[in-house]
Amino acid sequence: MPAQNPEKAILIIGDGIGDRPISSLKGKTPLEAAKKPTLDTLAAKGATGLLHVLSPGIPPGSDTGHLSLFGYDARDCYTGRGPFEALGAGLDLEPTDIAFRGNFATVRLTKDENFEVIDRRAGRNLPEGAELAKLINGIKVPRFPKVKVIIGHTVEHRCVLVLRGKGLSSAVSDTDPHGHGDSVLASTPMDESPEAKKTADLVNTVTREFHRLLKDSPINAKRKKAGLPEANIVLLRGAGVLPVIPSLKDIYGISTACVAGGALYKGVARSVGMEVLDVPGATASYDTDVEAKAKATAKALKTHDYVFLHFKPTDSASHDKDPMKKIAMVEKFDHLVKTLIGLIDMDHTHIAITGDHTTASTNGKHTGDPVPLLLVGPTIRSDDVSEFSERACAEGGLGHILGMAVMPMLMSALDRSPMFGA
Ligand code: ZN
Ligand code: ZN
């Protein structure tokens, strides 16, 4: 391993950037229809290909997609989304903790004592989220006196729950029914173990306790008065334990940093040992400050060998089934890349640009379609492709490869990929 390697790497992810042909765009994808001069110029300079992020035809989640792009086999190390959200919320996890994703939601108690979901997101805009989390953080559950109940708020209606104690299991089902008008589900054990049984019982008890404390809180009284949906329960999903995986430093001997707005991406980055930078203005929303993110990335590159830069709004536009918005967000992504390359030394920087999956603007879902990949840098052999899009990159010199290959390819460009054999 060279002690002083001046070569740097950046992985830039446009979340869900791939798409399907859209009839209102005359069969083009939003990426094809967008004006993206910087991405096209880089495609002309570099090498392109198509990426099957997990394997052909398998729609990746953002968590498994990113694990794969960081070079890990998600099938070996994925333990559920909860722990990544918890890490991203800034909570530290112990190996036996059980972590869940949570939503503050609005429910009403029915005659038969069920909680009927009125709004899964309690109106989504929940400026009191952190305060509500504080209200239920650290509560004591009489039947489980040794269990610590930790709640952390992330953004909007989103939060995380961590259960800390002996003899708990992540093999428990969600309480989130995912639909409006459905009843909150009872968590059930997913195996025969006493630990799973105990944890499901604990989850159900904690859920009722959260409702009891939240429903009469002054915050909800105020929201009710203002005609806003009350945040009177926490819906839970994605139970998991901290994945035990070697860090990128262990594997490649590199120092790594992350510039992202969303808790999930920060959490996956932390799980592989990245330093997560605090970047004011970097939100995971449409309004994310791309100038701030580009500056933070360029600055981080001075002190780290590898920086992961995440851009979320391309995915959100597709989930909103809004191809025109996606075009605008691809153009915003292009501006992010343009600003960044104006700030760094391209003679010593290798960049990979791709997506963590396709998100189809037609159905609003992650799909198994491959995504375009672009590698550019001083050691990269260029190909004949001069456009960054799904169709153009299909002709590229990198061919059609798996997501797990991106990290070793970047590291190889930096002469940091360990040799196999003698
Ligand atoms: Zn994603
Ligand atoms: Zn998505």
What are the domain boundaries of the chain? 8-78+245-413, 87-240
297 residue type, one letter:
T
Is residue 69 within 8 A of residue 11, CB to CB? The reply is yes
| Cα 351 to ligand 2 centroid, rounded to whole Å | 23
| Cα 208 to ligand 1 centroid, rounded to whole Å | 32
| Cα 359 to ligand 2 centroid, rounded to whole Å | 7
pLDDT in tens, the chain (422 residues): 444 568 999 999 999 999 999 999 999 999 999 999 999 999 999 999 999 999 999 999 999 999 999 999 999 999 999 999 999 999 999 999 999 999 999 999 998 889 999 999 998 889 999 999 999 999 999 999 999 999 999 988 999 999 999 999 999 999 999 888 899 999 999 999 999 999 999 999 999 999 999 999 999 999 999 999 999 999 999 999 999 899 999 999 999 999 999 999 999 999 999 999 999 999 888 999 999 999 999 999 999 999 999 999 999 999 999 999 999 999 999 999 999 999 999 999 999 999 999 999 999 999 999 999 999 999 999 999 999 999 999 999 999 999 999 999 999 999 999 888 98
Nearest to 132 by CA among 107, 108, 157, 109: 157
Q: Could you tell me the CATH superfamily of domain 8-78+245-413?
A: Alkaline Phosphatase, subunit A (3.40.720.10)
| Cα 8 to ligand 2 centroid, rounded to whole Å | 29
Residues belonging to the chain: 422
| Cα 16 to ligand 1 centroid, rounded to whole Å | 5
Q: For residue 316, which ligand has an atom nearest its CA?
A: 2
Cα→Cα distances 127→25, 133, 156, 227, Å: 37, 11, 7, 15
Rounded Cα–Cα distance for residues 193 and 171 (Å): 9
